[in-house]
Amino acid sequence: MTDLLQPVDSRTREILVLGGGTAGFLAALSLRRRNSDITVRVLQSSKLGIIGVGEGSLRQLPGFLHDYLGIDPKRFFAEVGPTWKLGIRFKWGKGGDFNYSFSPQVDVVHPHPDLPQPLGYYCWNDMEDHCVTSVLMRNDLVYLKDKNGRLDIGDDYGYHLDNRRFAAFLERYALEQGVEIIDDLVTHVDVGDDGVERLNLESGNSIAADLFVDCSGFASLLLGKTLDEPFVSYRSSLFCDKAIIGGWERSAEPVHPYTTSETMDSGWCWQIEHEERINRGYVYASDFVSDDDAEAEFRGRNPLIEETSIVRFRSGRFENAFVKNVVAIGNSAGFVEPLEATAIAAICTSSRALAETLRTNHGRITPAVRREFNHHNARSWDTIADFLAVHYRFNGMLDTPFWQACRADVDLRGAERIVSYYQENGPSQLWRLTLEDPVCRFRLDGYYTLLLGQQVPHARLGEVTDAERAAWARLKEATRAHASHGFTVPEALAAVRAPEWQWQPEHFKAA
């Protein structure tokens, strides 16, 4: 009989997280919260600092922070000052503006007895008024009023956060949770057969650990530079490689409850809403525009911009994120431009996966755990790149050399099957099981919203009847009426800051 008790890799007792940005502290806090018997230390360099950008989240973040990590939302609102994000307003595609909200928009079936098809079938040329969240976005409202005139807060929101304020909060919180924080600079790394042995520091000290979590940002000091893991580029689909970033102090502008993504001559520009500041960033392709010309276009559209800075990046991921005793999380593992603001969500997922694995396996990492972590990390980044490719291939708004090249040459990668299915059959859910990848953060609803929003033609396999047309009009009217009364972002912030406001678990259950 085979002995089921096979020897496994030895137990993890000490973890060193290299990097004190969003990734480093979210990873350290997850590990600490779920593995109280493991020592977790964070090593960061105040000389190098953090990236300072990364300000829009997906809808998983509030649940991750307040439910999984147990961070008190009242304190979070007081110390970090987030605003809410209900989705993205795209100034994109032939048809002009459309909303991509965190609530399902087009993949909704039978909301009305006279509408037999999913809503996407009725959305061609007309995406504005059938989804409550989308109407709220258009009206610059973040939440409905309940029957007592109070904030009716749901769980379909993400945050806009100031990156430095967020990381500084996480650092304070990590210290309180018993994470040791060291400020020093890694100068060289000792490597052995099992991976990294020790980090040698500028101070003359050195640090060893059983497991190293590489959160060193674009440097990818342990995974990329030290272990020399190969990089998988998304260059054939994503042509942009730089961002110019700037902003201004808010005056009378409304605080939108969404991120704006606006088509530019050689890329696109985000607008992120903070309570007292508006941040913008032009993501562009340096093969198509010089830094000076990009800055001129950026300032031309945003005359209030103060000082600017440029960040260079490459889109792609490392072949494996977990190699020997090094696991990379954050920009050190993979990166795509923030067109869908996915990086913080990827950090949360990886941090949680690592923390839960160590807890369940009593601190042991097996080869199959590394394999599955790597498979998930690769699928997660690849499916994000697939989805972004759809944004570039079909944006028919401008006829500049950059956009002509995108429409002609962008590789749709894994999105090809969903796109051709939609083109031949319309926004149908019938083959959801085979079309959707369970790892992909963007369901059929996301794909169909982007395709319909950009007015990518699809076959109509049946006629829309008069009864359906009338029902569609009634549905939109009812949605408009339902979403006409609500709270603006400043009103909602005042409400949650009031001493009597109590956050409830159902306000952030989507961890």
Ligand X SMILES: Cc1cc2nc3c(=O)[nH]c(=O)nc-3n(C[C@H](O)[C@H](O)[C@H](O)COP(=O)(O)OP(=O)(O)OC[C@H]3O[C@@H](n4cnc5c(N)ncnc54)[C@H](O)[C@@H]3O)c2cc1C
Judged by CB under 6 A, does residue 405 bind ligand X? no
Segment near ligand X (CB under 6 A); pick from 15-23, 98-106, 170-178, 396-404: 15-23
Judged by CB under 6 A, does residue 35 bind ligand X? no
The site string for ligand X over 326-365 (x = CB under 6 A, - otherwise) reads ----xxx-----x--x-xx---------------------
State the residue number with the nearest CB to ligand X: 21
If we measure between CA atoms, which residue out of 435, 409, 411, 405 comes closest to residue 423?
435
Q: 453-482: which residues touch ligand X (CB under 6 A)?
A: none
Q: Which one of 53, 153, 227, 269 is in contact with ligand X (CB under 6 A)?
A: 53
Q: 129-158: which residues touch ligand X (CB under 6 A)?
A: none
Contact 280, 245 (CB under 8 A): yes
Our CB check for ligand X shows the closer of 175 and 461 to be 175
Our CB check for ligand X shows the closer of 168 and 311 to be 311
Segment near ligand X (CB under 6 A); pick from 14-22, 33-41, 81-89, 439-447: 14-22
Cα distances from 258 to residues 99, 136, 140, 143, 380, in angstroms, run 9, 10, 9, 12, 24
Our CB check for ligand X shows the closer of 141 and 343 to be 343
Q: In whole angstroms, what is the distance from residue 120 CA to residue 426 CA?
A: 8
Q: Which one of 21, 73, 257, 267 is in contact with ligand X (CB under 6 A)?
A: 21
Q: Which one of 181, 219, 232, 435 is in contact with ligand X (CB under 6 A)?
A: 219
Our CB check for ligand X shows the closer of 129 and 273 to be 273
Terminal Cα distance for the chain, rounded: 43
Judged by CB under 6 A, does residue 186 bind ligand X? yes
Least distance to ligand X, CB of residue 48, Å? 4
Alpha-carbon Rg for the chain in angstroms: 24
Our CB check for ligand X shows the closer of 20 and 267 to be 20
Judged by CB under 6 A, does residue 19 bind ligand X? yes
Q: Which one of 83, 99, 133, 216 is in contact with ligand X (CB under 6 A)?
A: 216
Least distance to ligand X, CB of residue 476, Å? 31
The site string for ligand X over 282-311 (x = CB under 6 A, - otherwise) reads -----------------------------x
Cα distances from 469 to residues 53, 135, 219, 480, in angstroms, run 45, 20, 55, 17
Segment near ligand X (CB under 6 A); pick from 13-21, 299-307, 434-442, 457-465: 13-21
Token couple for 349: 């997922």
If we measure between CA atoms, which residue out of 325, 270, 351 comes closest to residue 24?
351
Q: 155-184: which residues touch ligand X (CB under 6 A)?
A: 163
Q: How many residues bind ligand X (CB under 6 A)?
A: 38
Q: Which one of 30, 44, 325, 357 is in contact with ligand X (CB under 6 A)?
A: 44
Q: Which one of 29, 50, 142, 174 is in contact with ligand X (CB under 6 A)?
A: 50
Least distance to ligand X, CB of residue 234, Å? 14
Segment near ligand X (CB under 6 A); pick from 2-10, 209-217, 261-269, 405-413: 209-217
Judged by CB under 6 A, does residue 87 bind ligand X? no
Judged by CB under 6 A, does residue 243 bind ligand X? yes
Our CB check for ligand X shows the closer of 30 and 429 to be 30
Judged by CB under 6 A, does residue 247 bind ligand X? no
Cα 408 to chain centroid distance, Å, stands at 27
Q: In whole angstroms, what is the distance from residue 497 CA to residue 503 CA?
A: 10
Contact 326, 195 (CB under 8 A): yes
Tally Cβ neighbours within 10 Å of residue 128. Answer: 16
Q: In whole angstroms, what is the distance from residue 160 CA to residue 310 CA?
A: 21
Whose tokens are 């494996």? That residue is 320
Helices (H), 80-238: 132-138, 163-176
Contact 120, 107 (CB under 8 A): yes
Q: In whole angstroms, what is the distance from residue 21 CA to residue 241 CA?
A: 21
Judged by CB under 6 A, does residue 119 bind ligand X? no
**DSSP state for residue 11 in the 8-state scheme:** B
Segment near ligand X (CB under 6 A); pick from 50-58, 230-238, 428-436, 479-487: 50-58
Q: Which one of 12, 16, 17, 20 is in contact with ligand X (CB under 6 A)?
A: 20
If we measure between CA atoms, which residue out of 446, 390, 430, 443 comes closest to residue 414?
390
Our CB check for ligand X shows the closer of 38 and 346 to be 346
Q: 3-class secondary structure for 307-368?
A: CCEEEECCCEEECCCEECCEEECHHHCEECCCCCCCHHHHHHHHHHHHHHHHHHCCCECCHH
Q: Which one of 15, 16, 17, 23 is in contact with ligand X (CB under 6 A)?
A: 23
Report residue 490: phi and psi, to 5°.
-60, -40
The site string for ligand X over 55-84 (x = CB under 6 A, - otherwise) reads xxx---------------------------
Query: How many helices and strands, by DSSP H and E, does the chain display?
Result: 14, 24
Dihedral of CA atoms 401, 402, 407, 411 in degrees, nearest 10, equals: 130
Binding site for ligand X (CB under 6 A): 18-24, 43-45, 48-51, 53-57, 163, 185-186, 215-217, 219, 221, 243, 281, 311, 313, 330-332, 338, 341, 343-344
